């Protein structure tokens, strides 16, 4: 059996699949059980960058190229303009279980799909990014570059011929072909804060397998001279990462589930193309009466009701490098410090 993670509008789950024995239809039925999205209405994406899978229900599941540890992103297909009702499932894609009652079929599109909140300026939308250890950088790339494939560039010590840490670089020292970048704000970015010597920290954070967090949000806020607001889904807590003590006139939003970051952007209308979304907002108020902060608080409430968060003190993890079982973020950090392992997966 191979564990495959499924990220769907109601949350995240892990399916144990016999890839060699099951069919695509079996996978769709499992996803239907999790998400209540009918097989005929499922859009499945896989890989990095995510690509939409062509689903032929009768084919073996192995035809999709899935492997243990992969993640599938599930979305609800946007209805076509020629039909106001969801299409009925075809015989080939009909669920193995009895079909839901018509009333439930009608309600499903309203309860699934990306979470969103209407505002006076448009619709604030939860933008899901891949769960691949680079989610923070993918979210920032989506916000500032409108392209999550540039996530790794967000990590790099050089970006567009400038260091990512250009706002706090003191000196550069050339050592052969290697170039080291030292932060000038030694009080803020000291070894105690970074959790490691600065050289070690910089080497580690550049690896695609390393998660980003509060330190990186602070650095990126300075780099882009934009306040980054992070909202915690489980608690509704808002953390602000400002580029300077004087603040800034603009902010962007990331959504934190406990182990994953996504972005939030403003669409002019439901279903608007990604390129129409606004991702950076003027700051109109210093407190939570700011319309964007009010909307993102409501967005977090919707996600919390969908159970789209993980309690990091109690969730179960497995080290993907040695297989050791761990409980909570505290165990994961201790294991990483003891072994140097940084790839963890949720059971």
Query: Hey, which residues are catalytic here?
Result: 132, 135, 260, 341
User: Which residue in 10, 43, 49 sits closest to 28, CA to CA?
Assistant: 43
| Three-state DSSP state, 73 | strand
Give how far the C-alpha of residue 109 lies from the chain's centroid of Cα atoms, to the nearest Å.
Answer: 22
User: Which residue in 218, 210, 212, 317 sits closest to 256, CA to CA?
Assistant: 212
Give how far Cα 77 sits from Cα of 35, 143, 160, 194, Å. 13, 24, 37, 43
3-state secondary structure 238-262: EEEECCCCCCCCEEEEEEECCCCEE
Give how far Cα 329 sits from Cα of 262, 299, 316, Å. 19, 25, 9
Query: What distance in Å separates the CA atoms of residue 346 and residue 316, rounded to the nearest whole number?
Result: 6
């Amino acid at each position: 059996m191979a564990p495959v993670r499924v990220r769907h509008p109601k949350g995240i789950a892990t399916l144990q699949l016999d890839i060699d024995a099951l069919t695509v239809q079996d996978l769709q039925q499992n996803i239907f059980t999790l998400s209540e999205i009918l097989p005929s209405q499922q859009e499945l994406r896989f890989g990095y960058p995510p690509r939409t899978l062509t689903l032929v229900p009768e084919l073996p599941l192995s035809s999709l190229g899935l492997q243990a540890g992969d993640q599938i992103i599930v979305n609800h297909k946007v209805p076509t303009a020629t039909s106001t009702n969801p299409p009925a499932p075809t015989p080939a894609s009909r669920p193995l279980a009895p079909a839901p009652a018509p009333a439930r079929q009608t309600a499903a599109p309203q309860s699934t799909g990306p979470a969103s909140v209407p505002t006076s300026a448009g619709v604030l939308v939860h933008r899901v990014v891949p769960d691949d250890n680079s989610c923070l950088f993918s979210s920032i790339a989506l916000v500032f570059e409108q392209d999550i494939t540039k996530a790794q560039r967000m990590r790099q010590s050089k970006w567009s011929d400038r260091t990512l840490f250009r706002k706090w670089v003191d000196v550069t020292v050339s050592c052969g072909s290697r170039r080291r970048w030292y932060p000038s704000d030694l009080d803020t970015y000291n070894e105690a804060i970074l959790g490691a010597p600065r050289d070690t920290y910089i080497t580690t954070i550049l690896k695609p397998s390393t998660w980003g967090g509060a330190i990186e949000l602070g650095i990126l806020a300075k780099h882009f001279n934009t306040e980054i607001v992070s909202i915690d889904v489980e608690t509704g807590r808002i953390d602000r990462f400002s580029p300077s003590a004087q603040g800034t006139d603009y902010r962007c939003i990331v959504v934190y589930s406990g182990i994953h970051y996504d972005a939030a952007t403003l669409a002019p209308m439901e279903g608007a193309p990604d390129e129409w979304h606004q991702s950076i907002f003027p700051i109109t108020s210093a407190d939570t009466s700011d319309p964007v902060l009010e909307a993102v608080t409501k967005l977090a409430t919707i996600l919390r009701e969908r159970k789209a968060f993980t309690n990091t003190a109690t969730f179960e993890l497995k080290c993907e490098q040695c297989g050791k079982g761990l409980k909570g973020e505290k165990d994961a950090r201790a294991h990483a410090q003891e072994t140097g392992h940084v790839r963890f997966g949720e059971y």
